[in-house]
Structures are given as structure tokens and as C-alpha cells.
């Protein structure tokens, strides 16, 4: 090196390792409530349609639930399932004492009203945290169920940075499942929060001002290295499968990793970043739901504060 150019390399935030630790902690709690309270947390996952990518996620969720000692109930329904049939299934799960958590994989086929489906899930079994009751609890400072992807993202931020008080954060994306709940969590952590979306003017300038960047856009490698403030912490939520010239495909995030890794202070990779944390947090929410439904007084797994 000539002494002029200082090559920096961001710290990699390892979602696989973090999620393995969290799942270990959850497993211990699951065994504890099984042995002392005779309760086994149960997670029901509902998938409508045969989207192969979704099938992989559902299988992963069930496998991880079983590894933690939970029961898992898989409901795979054909793509032409009626809304009425799906709502009936959910009402059955609402009333099933073995089921503590219910997740309906999104997106749903167009003929089904997703909002109606979400509102049919009992709020205390809504482990996705998408029911308006839980949305309101997060927005108004109450205790509800926190959406898994934002929760996992926050755990990694807190682990890397400690308290986030006063930091400038930008969330790129305003969806109900990632962007909005993420912004609410960051407000709760006393960050100064900007929410950007497709109508934002001069997105690179907004991103450059931020100490924390959460990318949840769904556009492969859109956020470039020269948009990142040197030393910033980057959480890449994006999961995009892109085709390669040789006919194969690979997963990339919403951040151009090779560029950002040279500027950021820390960054989550894709795969191996937010994705595995989402699943660990789903299990954590299922454990929490089981404990609350049975009024068990157990400590939360990784209460990060
Ligand atoms: N790792 C994980 O566990 C998970 C990963 N994901 C991934 O995260 C990504 C986002 O998911 P989700 O929130 O559901 O996606 P949505 O498509 O629902 O939302 C995307 C958001 O990005 C905004 N946006 C789109 N284009 C631009 C642009 N050019 N500039 C600025 N903002 C833009 C949209 O703005 P507008 O509102 O104006 O349209 C919208 O608010 C996806 O890649 C998804 O696969 C999702 C869930 C879990
Ligand atoms: N009701 C509902 N809740 C969700 O939480 C939900 C959903 N619907 N629909 C789809 C999205 C997407 N999602 C992911 C979860 C885990 C990984 C994951 O584990 N990814 C791994 C591996 C991915 C791979 O190899 O394919 C990784 O990033 O390392 C990714 C994406 C949850 N979602």
C-alpha cells in the first residue's frame, strides 16, 4: 500500500451464528416450560399455492421449530382455495389449544383478501405481528407481537452498536411487513428516523446522512457503496434471486455488497444475515405467545435491552 489509500473492510454481522445462539436459548426455554408447566409451544404455518420458494421457507420454519422442541403444523392448500375455506381453517387454529402461533405465508393468491385473513387471526396467536391490534400496540408503545424481520434486524443492530439513542437511521421501504414496523422500532430506540420509498427525492443524499441504513426495497443491489456514510451500519433485508449468465441463480440483497463492504462499519450479508434471524424471531414469538396464553412467567429470550 502507498500509505494514501486506506482500505477498510466492514465487520460482517453473522445472522447464521446469531440465530443459532438465539435458537439455542429458545430451545432451553421450550424444554423448561415442557418439563415444569407441561406446555409445548406449537406453530401452525399455512401456505396457499405451490410457489416453490415459499415451500422452501415453510419447510425451513417447520424444521427449525422441531429442532427447538416445538410442535409444528403445516397446512399446504391448493392455489384455488377459497377465501371462505382459508378463514374457516384459521378459525379452527384460533380455537386449537395445541396451536400458540399462526403464520399465513404472504403473498396470498389475488382472489383472497389478505387483510381480511390477517384480521381473522387471533391477535395473541399472531406471531407475524401483522394484525391491526399488534400494529397499534407497536405504534402506541404497548406490549404486542413484534414482526419477525424488524425484530431480528433490531437485535443485530443492538448487538453491534449497543444503545441506538440519538443515531440517525434511514429505512428504505415502507411496507407493512418490514419498513413501517422497523421505523417504529427505531423510534422506540430513540433514533432519528427517516422513512424513504419510491417517491423519495434524492435517495442517495438521504442515505448518506444516516448512521444506520435498513434496506427493504426488493430491488437487487440498488443501494450503492458511495451512498453509504463511512462507518455506518447496514442491515440488508432484501432477498432477491437473480439469474446468472451460466443459467444458474444466486441470492442478492438490496445493497451492492462488494461496494458497501468497503465503506460501512458493519454490514449483514445475503444470504446469512437477516433471513435466518427472521426465522429465529418467529420461534421466539411462538414461545412468547405460548407463555402469554398459559400465563407463564418466563423471561423473554434475548430481551436486548
Ligand atoms: N430477510 C427476510 O426475512 C425478509 C426479506 N424480505 C425482502 O425484503 C424486501 C422488501 O420486502 P417488502 O417490504 O415486503 O417489499 P414491498 O414490495 O412490499 O415494499 C418495497 C418498498 O420499497 C419501496 N421502493 C420500491 N422501489 C423503490 C425505489 N426505487 N426507491 C426507493 N424505494 C423504493 C416501495 O415504495 P412505495 O411504497 O412507494 O411503492 C415500498 O415501500 C424484498 O427483497 C423481500 O424479499 C421481506 C420479508 C422478510
Ligand atoms: N407471513 C409471512 N411472514 C414472513 O415472515 C414472510 C412471509 N410471510 N413471506 C415471505 C417473506 C420472506 N421471508 C424470509 C424468511 C427467511 C429467509 C431465510 O431464511 N433466508 C436465508 C436463506 C435463503 C435461501 O437460501 O433461499 C438467508 O437469507 O440466509 C428469507 C426470507 C419471510 N417472509
- pLDDT given for residue 305 in this prediction: 41
Stated length of the chain: 305
- pLDDT given for residue 299 in this prediction: 81
Q: 21 lies in a domain? A: no
Q: 212 lies in a domain? A: yes
Burial of 142 (0-12, 13-18, 19+ CB in 10 A): exposed
Q: Is the CB of 220 under 6 A from ligand 1?
A: no
Q: Are residues 163 and 270 in the same domain?
A: yes
Q: Are residues 105 and 59 in the same domain?
A: yes
Distance CA 246, CA 194 (A): 40
Q: 264 lies in a domain? A: yes
Q: 163 lies in a domain? A: yes
- pLDDT given for residue 4 in this prediction: 58
Burial of 261 (0-12, 13-18, 19+ CB in 10 A): buried
Q: Are residues 243 and 153 in the same domain?
A: yes
Q: Is the CB of 270 under 6 A from ligand 1?
A: no
Q: 111 lies in a domain? A: yes
Q: Are residues 88 and 177 in the same domain?
A: no
Q: Are residues 116 and 175 in the same domain?
A: no
Cβ of 41: how many Cβ atoms within 10 Å? 29
Q: What CATH number is associated with residue 43?
A: 3.40.50.10860
Note down the domain range covering 155: 147-275
* Phi-psi group of 260: left, alpha or beta (phi > 0 → left; psi -120 to 50 → alpha; rest → beta): alpha
Pairing of strands 240-243, 249-252: antiparallel
- Is residue 105 among the annotated active site residues? yes
Q: Are residues 116 and 168 in the same domain?
A: no
Q: Are residues 271 and 157 in the same domain?
A: yes
State the total domains in the chain: 2
CA of 134 to the centre of ligand 1 (A): 21
Distance CA 266, CA 212 (A): 10
Q: 249 lies in a domain? A: yes
Q: Are residues 250 and 157 in the same domain?
A: yes
Domain final residue, candidates 107, 122, 137: 122
Cβ of 40: how many Cβ atoms within 10 Å? 15
Q: What CATH number is associated with residue 165?
A: 3.40.50.720
Domain final residue, candidates 65, 89, 122: 122
Q: Are residues 64 and 101 in the same domain?
A: yes
Q: Three-state SS string across 96-111, please?
A: CCCCCEEEECCCCCCC
Q: 104 lies in a domain? A: yes
Q: Are residues 161 and 90 in the same domain?
A: no
Domain final residue, candidates 88, 122, 156: 122
CA of 99 to the centre of ligand 2 (A): 21
- pLDDT given for residue 54 in this prediction: 82
The ligand minimizing its distance to the Cα of 202 is 1
pTM over 0.90: yes
pLDDT per position in the chain (305 positions), as tens? Answer: 455 566 679 999 999 999 999 999 999 999 999 999 999 999 999 999 987 778 878 888 999 999 999 999 999 999 999 999 999 999 999 999 999 999 999 999 999 999 999 999 999 999 999 999 999 999 999 999 999 999 999 999 999 999 999 999 999 999 999 999 999 999 999 999 999 999 999 999 999 999 999 999 999 999 999 999 999 999 999 999 999 999 999 999 999 999 999 999 999 999 999 999 999 999 999 999 999 999 998 888 777 64
- Considering 124, 126, 128, 254, which one is annotated as catalytic? 128
Alpha-carbon separation of residue 287 from 15, 105, 200 (angstroms): 20, 19, 39
Q: Are residues 258 and 206 in the same domain?
A: yes
Q: How crowded is the C-beta side of 260, counted as CA atoms within 13 Å?
A: 30
Q: 302 lies in a domain? A: no
Q: Which residue among 271, 281, 284 has the greatest number of ligand 2 atoms within 8 angstroms of its CB, and so is best to mutate? A: 271
Amino acid at each position: 500500500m502507498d500509505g494514501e489509500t486506506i482500505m477498510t473492510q466492514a465487520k460482517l454481522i453473522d445472522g447464521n451464528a446469531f440465530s443459532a445462539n438465539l435458537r439455542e436459548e429458545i430451545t432451553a426455554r421450550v424444554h423448561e416450560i415442557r418439563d415444569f408447566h407441561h406446555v409445548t409451544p406449537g406453530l401452525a404455518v399455512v401456505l396457499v399455492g405451490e410457489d416453490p420458494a415459499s415451500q422452501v421457507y415453510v419447510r425451513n420454519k417447520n424444521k427449525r421449530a422441531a429442532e427447538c422442541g416445538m410442535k409444528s403444523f403445516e397446512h399446504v392448500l391448493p392455489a384455488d382455495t377459497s377465501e371462505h375455506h382459508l378463514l374457516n381453517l384459521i378459525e379452527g387454529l384460533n380455537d386449537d389449544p395445541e396451536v400458540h402461533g399462526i403464520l399465513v405465508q404472504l403473498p396470498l393468491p389475488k382472489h383472497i383478501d389478505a387483510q381480511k385473513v390477517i384480521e381473522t387471526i387471533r391477535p395473541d396467536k399472531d406471531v407475524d405481528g401483522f394484525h391491526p391490534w399488534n400494529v397499534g400496540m407497536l405504534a402506541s408503545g404497548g406490549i404486542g407481537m413484534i414482526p419477525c424481520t424488524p425484530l431480528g434486524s433490531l437485535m443485530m443492530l443492538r448487538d453491534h452498536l449497543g444503545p441506538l439513542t440519538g443515531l440517525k437511521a434511514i429505512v428504505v421501504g415502507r411496507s407493512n411487513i418490514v419498513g413501517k414496523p422497523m421505523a417504529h422500532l427505531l423510534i422506540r430506540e430513540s433514533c432519528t428516523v427517516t422513512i424513504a420509498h419510491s417517491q423519495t427525492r434524492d435517495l442517495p443524499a438521504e442515505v448518506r446522512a444516516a448512521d444506520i441504513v435498513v434496506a427493504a426495497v426488493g430491488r437487487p443491489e440498488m443501494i450503492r457503496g458511495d451512498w453509504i456514510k463511512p462507518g455506518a451500519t447496514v442491515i440488508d433485508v432484501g432477498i432477491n434471486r437473480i439469474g446468472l449468465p451460466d443459467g444458474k441463480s444466486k441470492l442478492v440483497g438490496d445493497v451492492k455488497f462488494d461496494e458497501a463492504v468497503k465503506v460501512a462499519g458493519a454490514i449483514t450479508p445475503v444470504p446469512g444475515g437477516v433471513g435466518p434471524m427472521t426465522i429465529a424471531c418467529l420461534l421466539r414469538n411462538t414461545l412468547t405467545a405460548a407463555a402469554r396464553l398459559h400465563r407463564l412467567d418466563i423471561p423473554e429470550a434475548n430481551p436486548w435491552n
